[in-house]
Every structure is written in structure tokens, then in C-alpha cells.
Structure 1
Amino acid sequence: MARFLALAAGLAASFLSMQAMAADPVGSYGAVDDVCADARVHSTIQKRFRYQVTHVPNLPNVDIVDFYGSYQTRYSPSSYDSPIERRYCRATARLSDGRDRTIWYLIEYGQGFAGLGNNVEFCVSGFDRWNLYDGHCRVLR
């Protein structure tokens, strides 16, 4: 009987420490931190921009040296119809030639290589020579 009471007490303690889960969660909740200003996201954009200006003909040979004014413009939570959570962001990028350019970027959660990590797509105003993101980076706005 003592073992049964100890087992029952152990089970009760474990159930009390569990977080309650709603059967019908209402609404979508996003992260509270500012992902758009994350240094890892900016570093990924800088590396890919460097690759872009060296491999696309007739682009000026510049680098992104700084980002400022990063903010989120749109949020698309994951849902049944669209299981990928997306954040659309805008910032100003300072280039190595001293000019400031608007940059639009998208962070897709869980879409990194082999589903690990996040994917970042970006478009710097005036540098989408092949209109990959439509005119004036419209797709990422």
C-alpha cells in the first residue's frame, strides 16, 4: 500500500508540473523579439550580396557595410494552408560607396538547408538586375 501511495503521489506531482494545453487554441502568436534586426540575418544578407555583385554582370562592386532602421513590415504566421512562418522586413543598407539603399528581406522559418535553420531572401533597391523580385523589389514588400 505504501508503494501505491508513493506512486500516486509521484504521478500527481508530475501532472501538476505539466503545462496546460488548450484543446482549441485561438489566434496565432509570433515571437516577441526583433528578428529583423538580428545580426545573423544581416550577416547572411551581407555575404549573399557580396556573391551577387561579383557574379551578376554590370553591378557596381560594392559591399553592405551597415544596416539601420530595420523593422518588420508584414508577418505571415504558419497555418493549415501555409505551414511556413514568414517575416517581411525593411531596412536601410549603407554601401561601401557611401550611398544608402532600401533593402527588403524575408525570413522563412525552418526553410534553411535540409530544413534546418531559416532562409533569408533579400532585394536591394537598384540591384535586382534580372527582376527576380519584380520591379522595385515588389515581391518582398
Structure 2
Amino acid sequence: MSLVVASAVAGLALLALGGAPGAHAASLLEKNFWLSGPNYSGVVPACEDQQALDLIATRFAETERMYWASALSITGFERVHEIAFRPWGPEYQPRRYCKGTVFTNDARKRAIYYSIIEDGGFIGASWGVEWCVVGLDRSYAYAPSCKMAGP
């Protein structure tokens, strides 16, 4: 009886090993059904681009007003410079990481970290920005001290 059980187990093992379908390439349908992979150009504005800085200032003031009932706003930028561009390689979504100093309307200077992201805008139609002002990350999204906003 044990010989029959052993033969059955061996037969199932051989069937499992030999009968398993191998991996094969994507079919023509899979390749042509909008699954071509990321096609990034790597073209994102520079850190000093005024349009990017204006977008950060506008959205910062809007966030302060809507979520924190604050009239705080950014009044200026200084010492803005790039700290990394595509730090993980060309196959990842292009991001330009930047650092600078902002002046706010409460007469204080604060460090800011931000990234400009290809296809990061509204529904991926344009570039977008993510930012963190040190000391004003009230939701701790980039804690500690905006460290997670960097590369």
C-alpha cells in the first residue's frame, strides 16, 4: 500500500514539474493595449523657474487658508538650487529636487524643500510640484522636518 502511495506522490510531483506552463512574452494584444510602459522625456522646469515658484506660493496660501484657517503666505524665495535630478535613474518618473529659503508674511525665513515632477500635474497633463516648508508641515506628511520631501 505504501508503494502505491509513494508512486502516486511521485507521479503528482512529476506532473507538477513537467506540466507547469512556462513564462512567455506579452502577446500582441498586451503590447498594444496602452501597456507600453512609461515614456518620460525628462523635461521638467528648473528649480528657479518662476512659474514653478508661483505655483508653490499660490498653493501654499490656499492650503493655509482652507485647512489651517491661516492667512500665512509666501512672499519671496531666495537661494533656490537643485539638490538632485532623477536620483533613482532614468526608468523612474523624472523629479527635480530643490531646496531654498522662503520669506513668509509673518516676517520669518524658513527652509523649503520641493520637487518638480514630470506628469505630476492635473491628471498627468503637465508637470506638478510637491513642497514642504520646514516648521509648517502641520500634517507631518514629510516628517521629520521635511526630510521626506527630499530624494
TM-score of the pair, normalised by structure 1:
0.69
Matched with 1:56 is 67
Larger Rg: 2
Matched with 1:5 is none
**CA root-mean-square deviation:** 2.3
> Does 2:66 correspond to 1:73?
no
Q: Which runs of 5+ in 2 are unaligned?
A: 1-41
Counterpart mapping for 1:1-141 below 5 A: 35-57=46-68, 60-76=70-86, 79-80=90-91, 82=92, 84-141=93-150
User: Which residue identity lines up with residue 64 of structure 1 in the other structure?
Assistant: I
User: Which residue identity lines up with residue 36 of structure 1 in the other structure?
Assistant: C
Deviations 1:77-132 (A, max 9, x none): 6633x2x1011000100111211110100111122112211010000011111101
> How many angstroms does 1:54 deviate by?
1.1
Query: How far, CA to CA, are the matches of 2:139 and 2:120 in structure 1?
Result: 24
Moved over 3 A (4+): none
User: Which residue identity lines up with residue 35 of structure 1 in the other structure?
Assistant: A
Do the aligned partners of residues 62 and 74 (structure 1) sit closer, same or farther apart at CA in structure 2, a change above 3 Å counting?
A: same
> How many angstroms does 1:55 deviate by?
2.3
Provide the aligned length of Structure 1 versus Structure 2: 109
User: Which residue identity lines up with residue 113 of structure 2 in the other structure?
Assistant: W
Matched with 1:8 is none
Query: How far, CA to CA, are the matches of 2:104 and 2:52 in structure 1?
Result: 17
Query: How far, CA to CA, are the matches of 1:105 and 1:88 in structure 2?
Result: 6
Sequence identity percentage: 30
Matched with 1:18 is none
TM-score of the pair, normalised by structure 2:
0.65
> How many angstroms does 1:34 deviate by?
7.0
Query: How far, CA to CA, are the matches of 2:120 and 2:63 in structure 1?
Result: 21
- Tell me if the contact between 2:45 and 2:52 (Cα under 8 Å) persists in the aligned partners: no
Query: How far, CA to CA, are the matches of 2:67 and 2:134 in structure 1?
Result: 15
Query: How far, CA to CA, are the matches of 2:105 and 2:113 in structure 1?
Result: 18
Query: How far, CA to CA, are the matches of 1:127 and 1:60 in structure 2?
Result: 11
